[in-house]
Amino acid sequence: MPVFQGRVAPVANAPLLAAARRSALAQLPQGTRTAAHVVASQPKGQPRVAHVPALVLSKRPTIPAEYGSRVPTAVRQRYLNLFLDECAKCCSTEDEAIQKALSEEKQTYERSSGKTVYLNVAVNTLKRLRRESAQDGGASSAGSSSSGAGTSAPAAAPVQPTNRVVSHEMVLQGARAARTSFSIEKNRYRKPPPELTEKRFYELLEVYRMTPEQLAEYNYPRPHPAEPGRAVFAGTDGRQYSKSNGGG
**pLDDT tens per residue across span 94-152:** 888 889 999 999 999 999 888 999 999 999 999 999 888 888 766 665 555 555 554 45
- Regarding pTM above 0.85, the answer is no
What phi-psi label fits residue 173: left (phi over 0), alpha (psi between -120 and 50 degrees) or beta?
alpha
**pLDDT tens per residue across span 184-231:** 666 677 778 888 899 999 999 999 999 988 888 888 888 888 888 898
At 113 the three-state DSSP class reads coil
- Whole-angstrom distance, CA of residue 216 vs CA of residue 210: 10
The gap from C-alpha 46 to its chain's centroid, in whole angstroms, comes to 36
Q: DSSP assignment of 19-81, as one string? A: HHHHHHHHTS-GGG------------SSPP----PPPPPS----PPP-TT-SS-HHHHHHHHH
More confident position, 221 or 31: 221
Alpha-carbon distance values, 190 to 49, 130, 138, 186, 194 (Å) = 66, 45, 55, 11, 12
Q: Residue 70 class from Cβ within 10 Å (0-12 exposed, 13-18 middle, 19+ buried)?
A: middle
221 φ, ψ (degrees, to nearest 5): -65, 135
Q: With contact defined as beta carbons under 8 Å apart, do 106 and 65 qualify?
A: no
- Whole-angstrom distance, CA of residue 25 vs CA of residue 82: 63
**pLDDT tens per residue across span 35-45:** 555 566 656 66
Residue-level pLDDT at 248: 43
- Whole-angstrom distance, CA of residue 77 vs CA of residue 122: 12
- Whole-angstrom distance, CA of residue 219 vs CA of residue 240: 15
